């Protein structure tokens, strides 16, 4: 089933703001000509249109949107209609200042910018209910409506009295009693015992759990507000709903938001700076894999930039083929839509120089427009990939709450040095370099679908996670865990009895006594015990490592050039039918690539295509009949790829080939009859 009912096409289009051009009707006419030339079929509209719908309180104007819907229906284009909460009109923000957020210092924020409304405010919800109701009633049955774009890039926080009262209610729901709260908050520290709920202060830096709970609460508030908006839509419309996430945005646990979406959407703005291609591609591949994992089905890249994002440190013109490779990266990892911010550059304000399909010159012969048009034409030939699947057998955990707990702990070199996200991505990249399908689940996800589960720096263990990990290994899985894992429970309290906590100590057969955070001049290495990687038996340790003791585990590598030389750095413990591998040291790319090659081979997980050049990345989607292979060239040189069997070059017109030449920084899409051996192999 495609993203939209009865619309079997890859979504291609983007954010469109005709309401900014109502004084220029010729521009809107021109847009519909250019949309066809660019092969665009879907647009998000009304995202910041509340002041156009309701220029004064109670006075409404939908004529311009009526016209847009009619035009799109005639040209067989689909619309994602936004709920307009992302930007309140001036009359709402100034007449009802209680809809504005209160800052951490207690000041009420003035009306300005966007996304500065209080999620708790009854007035905000009342006024939003009216406008959403009118939109849903007016357009629910329109043939151009495909779905709902709920708000836009939810973010921020409010500390008004209403929100603080809600936070106290959240604490009561979570801890039930002050006795439980004091126990969870370890309130004996610095005489912090609480005798009333309102004594818990968000400004108290002594309490690391309060800041984690605030982030949990803020995510709940966001989800409650989003559910309210969806509820208003659902009174009239059953069209699918989504909201656009913002990648690894640290302030929101997107796993909770995902549960409210009929399909997942995300905003992606890679930079492709010199020397960072592999890392950048891996970073966004991991994001795409997470969004596929969240719904276990195709997602939409709701925003990307066909030109140059205006807020990056280096606003460089895209090099040839970079744009196409970026789009193929998303499609190959499960996207059924690649859309842009923005369709047309505005004439004024802070995004007037942000890249767009159509520039201020209104031309269709620019580099950007021609690339988009060429890509759009190719998408029409590739529509058959819609709803094709991905079947990863390797999962790399990314858990927002665990990262929050680590970030709010004092120690380990400080927050900026902990970098759980960077560590997770380093391990993901090492696996991705083997061209195997990957998933990015959270710690509450189902582990049983994987053969290998990787938990880099899973600092906090939610209830039951350690037990499910043990069951995963007992049933035959391979679990890899790293330093700074299993230190605290869901209340950010350290485990008694040593690390890793809970049943993990028995599972891994090791005890972690301490962690060594290095000075920059320190040089420590790891010596492999009785085997080698690519002829090497010694690898440098980076930045930090743990001082661990084996308690039944087999030692695979030890430290060298340090006073604890000979102590384990890498262990494996046979547990049931599986293996629990503990990597106590931070290691570089060369080691991690070889390290994961070993475990992939032992688990029987093969690349989606064999014998690829080292600089070519491959991913695979499949349906009941065909397999689709996406090949990406990570270099600025042509790459020749020999294929194991004849395939159809879908990207370049469908010719049968046994080898392809990938252009510099480019890619292609190949089609072959699916061989139902295993979904993770050719």
Enzyme catalytic residues: 153, 303
CB burial class (10 A; 0-12, 13-18, 19+) of residue 601?
exposed
The half-sphere exposure of 353 on its side-chain side, counting CA atoms within 13 A, is: 7
**Are 529 and 555 in contact, with CB atoms under 8 Å apart?**
yes
d(CA 465, CA 449): 16
Torsion of CA 111, 112, 118, 119, to 10 degrees: 140
Q: How far is CA 113 from CA 42, 56, 167, 344, 464, in A?
A: 27, 19, 25, 21, 43
Provide the CA 537 distance to its chain's centre, in angstroms. Answer: 36
- What are the residues whose beta carbons fall under 8 Å from the beta carbon of 418, sequence distance 6 or more? 406, 407, 412, 457, 484
d(CA 454, CA 461): 14
**Are 296 and 641 in contact, with CB atoms under 8 Å apart?**
no
d(CA 249, CA 269): 13
b (16+ CB within 10 A) / e for 224-254: ebbebbbebbeebbebebbbbbbbbeeebbb
Find residue 669's DSSP bridge partners: 630
Please state the three-class secondary structure of 233-300 as a single string.
HHCCCCCCEECEECCCCCCCCHHHHHCCCCCCEEECCCCCCCCCHHHHHHHHHHHHHHHHHHHCCCEE
What backbone phi and psi angles, to 5 degrees, belong to 7? -140, 75
**Are 148 and 240 in contact, with CB atoms under 8 Å apart?**
yes
**Are 67 and 54 in contact, with CB atoms under 8 Å apart?**
no
Strand locations in 463-577 (E): 478-482, 510-517, 524-528, 538-550, 554-560, 568-575
* Strand (E) or helix (H) holding 672: strand 667-673
């Amino acid at each position: 089933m495609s993203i939209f009912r009865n619309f079997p096409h890859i979504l291609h289009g983007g954010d469109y703001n005709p309401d900014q051009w109502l004084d220029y009707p010729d521009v809107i006419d021109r847009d519909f000509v250019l949309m066809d030339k660019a092969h665009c079929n879907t647009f998000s509209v009304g995202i910041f249109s509340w002041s156009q719908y309701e220029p004064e309180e109670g006075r409404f104007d939908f004529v311009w949107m009526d016209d847009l819907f009619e035009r799109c229906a005639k040209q067989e284009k689909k619309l994602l209609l936004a709920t307009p909460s992302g930007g309140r009109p001036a009359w709402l923000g100034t007449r009802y200042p209680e809809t504005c957020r209160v800052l951490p210092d207690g000041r009420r924020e003035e009306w300005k910018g966007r996304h500065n409304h209080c999620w708790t405010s009854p007035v905000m919800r009342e006024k939003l209910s009216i406008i959403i109701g009118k939109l849903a009633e007016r357009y629910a049955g329109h043939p151009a409506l495909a779905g709902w774009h709920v708000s836009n890039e939810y973010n921020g926080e409010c500390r008004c009295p209403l929100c603080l009262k809600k936070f106290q209610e959240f604490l009561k729901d979570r801890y039930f009693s002050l006795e439980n709260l004091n126990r969870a908050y370890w309130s004996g520290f610095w005489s912090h015992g609480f005798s009333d709920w309102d004594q818990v202060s968000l400004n108290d830096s002594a309490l690391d759990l309060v800041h984690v709970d605030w982030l949990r609460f803020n995510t709940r508030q966001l989800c409650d507000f989003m559910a309210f908006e969806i509820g208003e839509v659902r009174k009239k419309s059953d069209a699918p709903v989504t909201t656009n996430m913002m990648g690894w945005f640290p302030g929101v646990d997107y796993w909770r938001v995902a549960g409210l979406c009929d399909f997942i959407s995300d905003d992606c703005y890679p930079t492709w700076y010199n020397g960072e291609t592999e890392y950048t591609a891996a970073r966004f591949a991991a994001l795409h894999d997470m969004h596929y994992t969240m719904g276990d089905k195709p997602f939409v890249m709701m925003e990307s930039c066909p030109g140059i994002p205006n807020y990056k440190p280096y606003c460089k013109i895209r090099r040839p083929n970079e744009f196409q490779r970026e789009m193929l990266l998303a499609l190959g990892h499960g996207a059924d839509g690649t859309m842009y911010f923005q369709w047309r550059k505005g004439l004024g304000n802070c995004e007037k120089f942000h890249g767009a399909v159509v520039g201020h010159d209104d031309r269709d012969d620019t580099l950007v427009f021609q690339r988009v048009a060429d890509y759009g034409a190719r998408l029409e030939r590739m529509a058959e990939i819609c709803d094709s699947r991905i079947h990863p057998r390797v999962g790399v955990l990314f858990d927002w709450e665990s990262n929050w707990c680590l970030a709010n702990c004092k120690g380990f070199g400080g927050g900026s040095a902990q970098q759980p996200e960077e560590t997770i991505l380093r391990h993901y990249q090492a696996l991705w370099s083997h061209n195997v399908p990957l998933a990015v689940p959270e710690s509450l996800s189902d582990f049983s679908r994987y053969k290998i589960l990787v938990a880099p720096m899973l600092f906090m263990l939610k209830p039951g996670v350690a037990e499910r990990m043990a069951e995963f290994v007992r049933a035959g899985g391979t679990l890899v865990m790293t330093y700074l894992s299993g230190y605290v429970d869901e209340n950010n309290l350290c485990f008694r009895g040593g690390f890793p906590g809970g049943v993990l100590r028995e599972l891994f057969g090791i005890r972690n006594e301490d962690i060594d955070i290095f000075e920059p001049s320190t040089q420590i290495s790891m010596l492999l015990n009785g085997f080698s990687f690519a002829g090497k038996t010694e690898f440098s340790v980076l930045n930090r490592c743990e001082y661990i003791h084996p308690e039944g585990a087999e030692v695979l590598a030890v430290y060298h050039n340090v006073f604890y030389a000979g102590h384990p750095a890498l262990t494996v413990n046979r547990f049931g039918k599986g293996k629990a591998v503990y990597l106590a040291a931070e290691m570089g790319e060369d080691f991690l690539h070889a390290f994961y090659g070993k475990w992939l081979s032992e688990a029987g997980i093969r690349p989606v295509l064999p014998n690829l050049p080292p600089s070519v990345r491959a991913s695979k989607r499949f349906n009941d009949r065909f397999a689709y292979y996406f090949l990406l060239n990570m270099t600025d040189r042509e790459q020749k790829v020999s294929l194991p069997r004849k395939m159809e070059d879908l990207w370049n017109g469908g010719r049968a080939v046994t080898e392809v030449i990938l252009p510099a920084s480019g890619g292609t899409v190949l089609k072959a009859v699916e061989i139902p051996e295993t979904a993770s192999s050719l």
